[in-house]
Amino acid sequence: MGKRSGLQRRRFFMPSSGSSSPARLFRNKWRGHRLKLCKSIKAMLEQATARNTGALNLDTSRGFASVGFAAFISSFLTTSALPLAVTARDVLVGSASTVFPRRDLFPLPRISTWPAQVDTGMQSDGGLLVLANTCVAALNHLEQGMPKSATTCSRNTCTTAKLSVQLHVCGRVARFCDRLNDMLGENFDYIGAFQKYEKTATGSSYEQLRGDDVDLPKKAATCDPSTLVDPGLWQEVCRGGTVFPENAGGHNHCPLSTLGSARGEYIKLTCRELRCGKLRLRLQACGSAKVFTAPKSTPGHQRKIWDGSLISTWAATPPKPHRLANPSAFLDIRVQPGEALYLSKRDASTFLDVLAVPPVLQPWLGQEPITLAELVQYGGFTAKEVVAFVDDLQQDSELTMALSSDSLLFPVHSVWPMGFSWSSCIAQSTTLGVLKQAGVHSSQILSLEHDLPASQRELCAVATDDTLFFHRSFRHGRRTLQKVDKVFEQHGIPRNRAKDVSLASKMTGLGCDISSRPALVEPAKDKISQAVLGLCDVLERGTSSPAGMSAILGVLQWFCLLQRGMFSIFDKVYGFIVQEPRAVQQPLPASVLDELFTWLAVAPLLPASLERQYLSDLLACDAAPEFGFGVSALSCGPKQVESIGRLSERRGDYVRLLVDDNDEPEQPRLGTAHRLPVKKSAFRTLISKRLRWRRTQACWSVTGSCSR
């Protein structure tokens, strides 16, 4: 036989069954082992390079807090075994993208160079890249459901959609770092920063009372809320037995427990409050509570807090404060590109101290008793002047003559005290009454529980003593502010003029910084800076008390109201904060640390733009543990999408479609139905993703949000 060609030789070794020859199987197996070995060696070399170089060469010569933050993140990534840290290391040391692009938005590839469209100012590109790529890794980590093991970085080249996401991340990271630098300057001193939250949780942040440093109004109880509060609510308050039912507790009198110099300061404060009209005196009180003080933002000033926790349990449950705003309310504001937006703010000074409480409730709002002799000694009162403060004593009666220097007198509040469960409800209703008398319609007041106004010419948000205004017209806004200021003055409510903002381009309220250029709402830079420092400290320490973790978690959740998808980050931390004993330091589980690190990594994405425009496609999505995740779309135009976007499930709104012949019968449900004039068949399926592993419902929701 002659020599066979290569093709003939290959065919000669192919059995009729189609399986490979033993030699080929051996060769393929050897090649597979070699490929795995090469990948493992490459990964080890990349991780070693990351540890030796700090993931990137950071220019630490520039004295900015953002550089210190980037240095912390870089150092943490090289030493931490948290799933996100390992994922971020893979992103930072990832090779250049050479694989053909995929249409999937996730996983996002590494940002290799800083985009020229995003101005860095005086900041280091290297540090910004560390933070931006850590944010990218966190988004990939979230999209995968925050698995316990690290996920790999995408090596695909960028599609247009992925590039737009990277550009958005870089823009937000640069702004985040600018704000850190504005607040912290050159120092990123995070060591010990978490102690602030530990002290807040354990009560050690309270200060020893200093009688002369507590802020008081010149004259208290100057406002009669009966002319402002909702009539039905005020009728309940004044009716005997409504706030404090007949079977309520009472007579839990505080003993003379404040002794020494602290008692002298307490009496000094009490005398000041008697003079300004905040307190009255009684021989008998239905309830009394201790008093403590907390520092105010103004150095050297204190705020008095009346510990009415026990007395509040005796009272009936108060109504929920009407139209109370939180950061989520800002997201209902819609600004067209280039549209003018003027921001204003009014803050009532020592608001609760000027709101008079009905006499029927005063006996319940007492505090630690004081002797007649102490009032005369510390307050400089005469006995006759003291008797004039006593409301349950007839001055000409025999009881008056029977008063001795050792007689105990209970100070009781003539105003709604901070620390009583009904106080915030009354204060909120009072502010709403001020706006009503100033001509502001209730529909203009932003609230998650109420429908949005048809016109956004002028909006406002109310949070007890703070009122925030959003005007589209400078002239109309000025008239509104003049009317509000006049109503404040007519009802004896003093303004904190130092905090007033009138028709400005930016303001701070509800823990958020709001600006009109750009139209943006974001966490207040002082609060977010402290949260970043605290998180860095606790991540490095790895320990916390459940109470301290609960304190910082409350701050993080408040900011999540701007981007509700970020609530899905938290899961295991809820189990940690309820552990006992609450004040004892405990090691933080890796799952809790991973959640905290994930929140820190995506914190630059918290700001919410007010210039979001509605698209022409309406998306319908749902997540079910039995199936997975699905998304359908309907092309119906921006106006129809906006009408649906203004609805809120929290307000009881839900959408119905036109009934098709093959549809199942509609099930009755609570709430308000809104009929969309299309059938189910008009929707087209975009995503139908079956369940591959168990996830929380929140993780499925954020996956859907990211997929869109």
Mean pLDDT of 221-235: 96
Whole-number pLDDT of residue 156 = 63
449 and 403 in a single domain? The answer is no
Q: Quick check: is 20 in a domain?
A: no
> Tell me: the pLDDT tens digits for 44-87?
665 554 444 334 455 555 678 999 999 999 999 999 999 999 99
Check whether 412 has a pLDDT greater than 90.
yes
Contacts 24+ apart (CB under 8 A), 294-302: 294/205, 294/206, 294/207, 295/205, 295/207, 296/215, 300/213, 301/213, 301/214, 301/215, 302/207, 302/209, 302/210, 302/213, 302/214, 302/215
Query: Are residue 590 and residue 665 in the same domain, yes or no?
Result: no
| Bridge partner residues of 303 (DSSP) | 294
Domain count, the chain: 5
CA 323 distance to own-chain centroid: 18
Strands 366-367 and 288-289: parallel
Separation of alpha carbons 109 and 158, rounded Å: 7
> CB of 368 within 8 A of CB of 254?
yes
Q: Lowest mean pLDDT: which of 91-105, 177-191, 335-349, 357-371? A: 91-105
Q: Is residue 572 part of a domain?
A: yes
Say yes or no: 266 and 409 in one domain: yes
Please state, as a whole number, how many other Cβ atoms lie within 10 Å of the Cβ of residue 402: 9
Among the candidates 504, 522, 540, a domain finishes at: 522
Determine the average pLDDT of the residues in 95-107.
61
Q: Within this chain, do residues 643 and 693 fall inside the same structural domain, yes or no?
A: yes
Q: Does residue 479 form part of some domain?
A: yes
268 burial level (CB within 10 Å; 0-12, 13-18, 19+): middle
The answer to whether position 15 is within a domain reads no
Residues 159 and 242 in one domain: no
Cis bond upstream, residue 607 (ω within 30): no
Is 691 a domain residue? yes
pLDDT at 106: 81
Model pLDDT for residues 544-603, shown as the tens digit of each residue = 999 999 999 999 999 999 999 999 999 999 999 999 999 999 999 999 999 999 999 999
Distance (Å, rounded) from C-alpha 252 to C-alpha 325?
35
Lowest mean pLDDT among 167-176, 342-351, 428-437, 678-687: 678-687
Q: Is the same domain home to 577 and 491?
A: no
- Predicted pLDDT of residue 210: 93
- Calculate the CA dihedral of residues 96, 102, 105, 110 and round it to 10 degrees: 0
| Together in a domain, 112 and 127 | yes
Q: Lowest-pLDDT range, 6-15, 278-287, 292-301?
A: 6-15
618-655 tens-digit pLDDT: 999 888 877 788 999 999 999 899 888 888 877 888 99
Given a cut of 50, is residue 614 above it in pLDDT?
Answer: yes
First to last CA, the chain: 66
Compute the distance between CA of residue 70 and CA of residue 269 in angstroms, rounded to an integer: 48
- Residue 321, classed as helix, strand or coil, is coil
Same domain assignment for residues 561 and 677: no
Return the pLDDT at 707.
44
Q: How far apart are CA 343 and CA 472, in angstroms?
A: 9
Of 170, 45, 174, 166, which is closest to residue 97 (Cα–Cα)?
166
Tally of CB atoms within 10 A around 83: 23
596: tokens are 């905290």
Query: Residue 404 above 60 pLDDT?
Result: yes
Give the residue, 101 or 291, on which the prediction is more confident.
Answer: 291
| Distance separating alpha carbons of residues 598 and 698, to the nearest angstrom | 15
User: Do 210 and 276 share a domain, yes or no?
Assistant: yes
Q: Is residue 3 part of a domain?
A: no
- The pLDDT, as a whole number, for residue 647 is 86
**Cα(695)–Cα(569) distance, integer angstroms:** 12
Round to whole Å and give the CA distance between 141 and 127: 21
What is the pTM (predicted TM-score) of this model?
Answer: 0.84
Q: The dihedral of CA 71, 77, 83, 84: what is its sign?
A: positive
Average pLDDT for 24-36:
82
Helices 65-79 & 525-541 angle (0-180, nearest 10): 30
Q: Quote the tokens at residue 388.
A: 């004039």
Q: How confident is the model at residue 708 (pLDDT cuts 50, 70, 90)?
A: very low
Interval 335-360 mean pLDDT: 94
Quick: pLDDT tens for 240-278: 788 998 776 665 555 555 555 688 899 999 999 999 999
How many CB atoms neighbour CB 489 within 10 A? 11
Residue 372 structure tokens: 């007649």
Distance, in Å, from the CA atom of 487 to the CA atom of 391, rounded to the nearest integer, reads 31
| Main-chain phi, psi angles of 604, to 5 degrees | -60, -15
In a domain, 45, yes or no: yes
**Digit-coded pLDDT (tens) for 195-222:** 999 987 766 668 899 999 999 999 999 9
The residue among 522, 553, 577 that closes a domain is 522
Same domain, 259 and 270: yes
Tell me the C-alpha distance between 235 and 480, whole Å. Answer: 30
Q: What percent of the chain has a predicted confidence (pLDDT) above 90?
A: 62
DSSP-derived secondary structure for 567-633:
GGG-SHHHHHHT-SSTTS-EEPPHHHHHHHHHHHHHGGG--EES-----SEEEEEEEETTTEEEEEE
- Average pLDDT value over all residues in the chain: 87
Residues spanned by the domain of 454: 327-345+441-522
- Asked if residue 32 is part of any domain, the answer here is no
Q: How confident is the model at residue 13 (pLDDT cuts 50, 70, 90)?
A: very low
Amino acid at 142: L
- Give percent of the chain with pLDDT exceeding 70: 86
Please indicate, yes or no, whether residues 664 and 588 belong to a single structural domain of this protein: no
pLDDT of residue 237: 94
Domain's final residue, options 492, 522, 552: 522
Whether 81 and 120 share a structural domain = yes
Cα 640–chain centre separation: 31
DSSP state of 220: S
Say whether 531 sits in a helix, a strand or coil: helix
Do 306 and 209 contact (CB within 8 A), yes or no? no
Strands (E), 307-383: 342-347, 366-367, 370-371
Please name the residue that has the structure tokens 């100070």. 411
Confidence band for 11, pLDDT divided at 50, 70 and 90: very low
pLDDT at 279 over 70: yes
Mean pLDDT of 380-409: 78
Please check the confidence at residue 395 and state whether its pLDDT lies above 70: no
Query: What DSSP line would sit under 164-194, residue for residue?
Result: HHHHHHHHHHHHHHHHHHHHHTT----TTTT
